[in-house]
Amino acid sequence: MNKSTFKFKVGIIGLGYVGLPRSLQFCEKGISVCGIDIDTSKIKKLKEGRSYLTNINDFKLKKIIKKKIFFPTDDFSNISKVENIIICLPTPLTNLNKPDLSYIKNTFNKIQKFLKPHQMICLESTSYPGTTSEIFVNFLKKKFSIGKNFYLSFSPERNDPGLKLNISQIPKIVSGFSNNCLNKSYKLYKLIFNRIIKAETLETAEMTKIYENVFRAVNIGFVNEMKKICKTMKINIHDVINLAKTKPFGFMPFYPGPGLGGHCIPIDPFYLSWKAKKLGLDTKFIQTSGKINRAIPGWIIGNINKYFFYKKKNKNNLSGKKFLILGISYKKNINDMRESPALEIINNLLKYNSKVSFFDPFFKKIPKTRKFNFEKIKRSKLSKSNLVKFDGVILVTDHDNVNYKKILNYSKVIFDTRNKYKIRSSKIIQL
């Protein structure tokens, strides 16, 4: 099959937080895309021009659907019709904090029989260095000549949900199994990105993505540790950060919070540590930062328990208490709750036999995850009659479209984990 006979320029597997925005990037340039996902409810919505992501509106979808340059489907056989295959699938951790590459491996098994000469596979999913070669090379070598009649590349995604920056303006790193593979990848992404940066090897590009995320995780771990110290010493950590960032050199501000969320930053330190251990290396610094960040939700609950201890002089003061979780997204202004610390906070409260409700403008219910099932927890309205019933409001995610003044007026106490309330009040406890 000659490459000119392919029906679609691009096939994107996984239409989530990376795959769907990437599909729109190509379509908006007039480039045909076949989008594939196993979730039939997503496919139905897309065909109707309805978006399930906050950063993509229905108008954009309906426009490309009408032009017939975006074809969403759950049929993997359509892979035979695309020239370039981009894989945007999740890479979570197992319960033992080991890399779980099952989504990628299972998908590759599904598409193997549909692969044709002159195609390219590009992995955008984050993983440890060596993943692209380990998963794809052995099979592809049996059927194709990689770099001559088939191409393999890795290009780390750098999407940041909620970021008000055109994706195309973010420098795009590309790599390839060979120079021909690299050039093939470069030409593809040059169609939709303003700046393309070539990495020398697949492993270098894979490590770059891990490095970027671990850098953030380690520094957030440090500032969360500082938050604990400052809390004990009755020092406002945010005042410290604001003063420190006036230094014009050698300092980059990071901010504490209720823990780490999102797909990459909480997970990537464990991916790198796992790989390092396989090589006989000990990454104590990285592992420690991961443990610190994972412990923050428990630390928050511990401090809330202490607050009520001083009031009631009881050991377990959270039993029977009613709490409102304000925000379940892992960051503000998005409908993404992957690895959200809100879930760990809810889980801790339930262990204490607390009664929990939530409010989030982006969620009507808490979706079931691999780890938690909180679908029975009810969404509460932010009315005066509701707010006065809660023993405490725990502010986890500081969405912009929330009436914080109203919450302050009618709540008994607010445990603020985001420094949203910058005023002094007996009703506000900074955590």
Give catalytic residue positions: 264
Residue 76: phi and psi, rounded to 5, are -70, -15
Nearest to 19 by CA among 161, 149, 164: 161
Nearest to 393 by CA among 382, 385, 401: 382
Torsion, CA 57, CA 58, CA 59, CA 61, rounded to 10: 100
* Rounded Cα–Cα distance for residues 348 and 384 (Å): 27
* Rounded Cα–Cα distance for residues 197 and 211 (Å): 16
* Rounded Cα–Cα distance for residues 354 and 346 (Å): 9
| Length of the chain counted residue by residue | 431
DSSP 8-state class, residue 378: P
Residue 422: phi and psi, rounded to 5, are -100, 15
| Cβ-based neighbour number of residue 250 at 10 Å | 5
- Amino acid, res. 141: K
Residue 54's Cα: distance from chain center in Å? 14
DSSP 8-state class, residue 428: E
Structure tokens at 339: 């690895």
CA angle 199, 134, 78 (to 5 degrees): 90
DSSP secondary structure letters along 37-99: -S-HHHHHHHHTT---STTS-HHHHHHHHHHT-EEEES-GGGGGGEEEEEE-----B-TTS-B
The distance between the two most distant Cα atoms of the chain, rounded to a whole number of Å, is 77
Helix (H) or strand (E) holding 8: strand 8-13
User: How far is the CA of 34 from the CAs of 22, 26, 165, 167, 374, in angstroms?
Assistant: 12, 11, 25, 20, 34
User: How far is the CA of 164 from the CAs of 63, 160, 169, 237, 265, in angstroms?
Assistant: 22, 9, 11, 27, 19
Q: Is 236 helix (H, G, I), strand (E, B) or coil?
A: coil
